[in-house]
Amino acid sequence: MSEIGGTEYLGFRWFATVATVTFSRFRIGGEFGGRSARTVTTGEDIRRMLLEEKRGMNLGLGLARHRFLIVLWSLSLVTHCAYLPAQLEQENYKSLVPQHLLGLLHAPQVHQELKLTSQQVRMLESLFSEIDPTWFQARLLPPQEQQSVISALEQKAMNWFAKYANEAQRERIKQLEYRAQGIRMLLRDDVVEKVGLSNEQRDALASLAQASQDATATLQKATMSGKQTEEQKQAVGTAAQAEQDWLKGNATREQMQLIIPLLGAPFDVQQLTRIYPMAPEFQQVKHWINSNPIQLKQLRGKVVLVHFYAFQCHNCHANFEHYRRWHKELRDKGVVVIGIQTPETSRERDPNAVRAAAAEQNLDFPIMIDLESENWKTWGNTMWPTVYVVDQQGYLRHWWQGELNWNGATGDKTIEQLVDQLLSPNAVPVQD
């Protein structure tokens, strides 16, 4: 226990009244130094295997390109599915299907693939301003409630496509969604009908998917407590591989040939670089240090590093040197560091004490003193410290929870590499 309140654990101070739910994402990132493993499969893997079958080739290596990834802990907006009871119910098929549509729609590469016009992109961003706050907050909900919220938001997105997109664009986004869902697209009602899967086939795949998720849940729980084992990591890989291998051993040739056109032309969903929502706008507060009040929308064209901290949090102090260095070395390159001091203790609620502590620690960048924790609530933050990377268009790109160098982690380097990519002239262009 921290001597100043909260719980110091794995390099962060936990806000005791907020429960956080961990999720995985189809493009994996990481936070605070915990490690877990996951196999990532996309529609292109399935399509390649199906084409090999169509040509009469040996399928033994059809899934050889699946990458067994070590992740540093993910909190996903592009959510995965809820963990279900061991007894799988018919209505729970949907809960096993990943929800990736919103992430796809935020990616500039997808805008280009869909051949969206500049006007369509602007209209889509208007939709994002409406749905993104709810989407971002949904990561904190229990899995089944989260799934319901995401489904409603996805329906709003599909309603937008029905009204403003042409038939080719609607067809292509559906193909990309199937690709992002990988093998589990075969659990969808619409795909089951198109491919002609039997109830027995669907049940078998769902059982494997559930086993894969159970193994992942066990590993994540062990990682959170710092007690993960190699056997648990191997169990995740084995269960995931069994799920992926289901197709070549259980689908008929006719069914496999029906899947190919559902995926459309090749497209690698793992290349996508922007799959998170727009960052929440700052809530107004009375006190700022080193700056007049700032709104995020004023900082378009700059990369913004937003970090939540409390000046008596020991874990937060471990990151201060990185914040000072970023402010000194990157501000002339178009990077703005902004601190949000969010109190837990009574002393952290004293603006004068916050100012004195910032001066003592040589924190010269803009700092918001958020005495009512309004921004903490708006951002759905759950622990001190947390660093968010916001790109030049105002979209979240990454966040790191806890000490940047906790237990040998290199969170500072991860963020700096991302900043370099965002500042690079070769960054993925965004349509105006």
Task: Give the pLDDT mean for 184-198.
Answer: 95
**Strand pairing class (12-14; 7-9):** antiparallel
Query: How deeply is 101 buried, as exposed, middle or buried, from its count of CB atoms within 10 A (0-12, 13-18, 19+)?
Result: buried
Q: Does residue 32 register a pLDDT over 50?
A: no
pLDDT, greater one: 15 or 418: 418
Residues in the chain: 432
Q: Does residue 75 register a pLDDT over 50?
A: no
Q: Does residue 28 register a pLDDT over 90?
A: no
> Cα 123 from chain centroid?
23
> Cα 48 from chain centroid?
26
Mean pLDDT score across all residues of the chain: 82
Q: What is the DSSP string of 284-301?
A: P-SEEESSS---GGGGTT
pLDDT for position 66? 28
Cα gap 85→75, rounded to integer Å = 22
Which residues have C-beta within 8 Å of that of residue 171, sequence separation ≥ 6?
264
pLDDT for position 426? 74
From the CA atom positions of the chain, what is the Rg in Å? 23
Backbone angles phi, psi at 386, to 5 degrees: -140, 135
pLDDT for position 73? 28
Backbone angles phi, psi at 175, to 5 degrees: -60, -40
User: How large is the angle between the packed helices 43-54 and 253-263, nearest 10 degrees?
Assistant: 130
Q: Does residue 278 register a pLDDT over 60?
A: yes
pLDDT for position 224? 75
Task: Give the pLDDT mean for 151-160.
Answer: 97
pLDDT, greater one: 70 or 92: 92
Confidence band, pLDDT 50/70/90 cuts, at residue 430: low
pLDDT for position 93? 87
Range name among 40-44, 218-222, 239-243 with the lowest pLDDT average: 40-44
Amino acid in position 352: N
Residue 63 contacts residue 45 (beta carbons within 8 Å): yes
> Cα 147 from chain centroid?
15
Q: Does residue 218 register a pLDDT over 60?
A: yes
pLDDT for position 370? 97
Range name among 46-60, 258-272, 389-403 with the lowest pLDDT average: 46-60
Residue 300 contacts residue 392 (beta carbons within 8 Å): yes
pLDDT for position 263? 95
Q: Domains in the chain, ordered, with CATH?
A: 7-17+279-423 (3.40.30.10), 44-271 (no CATH)
For residue 224, CA distances in Å to 34, 145, 218 come to: 7, 22, 10
Maximum separation of any 2 CA atoms in the chain, in Å:
75
Q: State the SS3 of 374-417.
A: HHHHHHCCCEECEEEEECCCCEEEEEEECCCCHHHCCHHHHHHH
The structure tokens listed for 158 are 């599909």
Backbone angles phi, psi at 98, to 5 degrees: -60, 145
Task: Give the pLDDT mean for 263-272.
Answer: 93
Strand order in the sheet with 287-289: 287-289, 367-369, 335-341, 303-309, 386-390, 396-401
Percent of the chain with pLDDT over 70: 78
pLDDT, greater one: 1 or 55: 55
Cα gap 326→419, rounded to integer Å = 10
Q: What is the DSSP string of 48-91?
A: HHHHHHHTT---TTTTTT-EEEEEB----SS--PPP--SS--GG
Percent of the chain with pLDDT over 90: 70
pLDDT for position 42? 55
Confidence band, pLDDT 50/70/90 cuts, at residue 91: low
Amino acid in position 295: Q
Task: Give the pLDDT mean for 157-167.
Answer: 97
Cα gap 330→323, rounded to integer Å = 10
pLDDT, greater one: 68 or 182: 182
Q: What is the pLDDT of residues 105-138, one digit of tens each?
A: 999 999 999 999 999 999 999 999 999 999 999 9
Q: What is the pLDDT of residues 285-300, one digit of tens each?
A: 999 999 999 999 999 9
Q: Does residue 7 register a pLDDT over 50?
A: no
- Give me the long-range contacts of 127-136 (CB less than 8 A, separation at least 24): 127/156, 127/157, 127/160, 128/277, 128/278, 129/278, 130/156, 131/102, 131/156, 131/157, 132/277, 132/278, 133/277, 133/280, 133/378, 135/77, 135/102, 135/277, 136/77, 136/277, 136/280, 136/379, 136/380, 136/396
pLDDT for position 47? 54
Local structure of residue 265 (DSSP, 8 states): S
SS3 for 188?
coil
Q: What is the pLDDT of residues 293-340, one digit of tens each?
A: 999 999 999 999 999 999 999 999 999 999 999 999 999 999 999 999
**Is 0.85 topped by the overall pTM?**
no
Task: Give the pLDDT mean for 168-187.
Answer: 96
Range name among 7-16, 26-35, 271-280, 359-368 with the lowest pLDDT average: 26-35
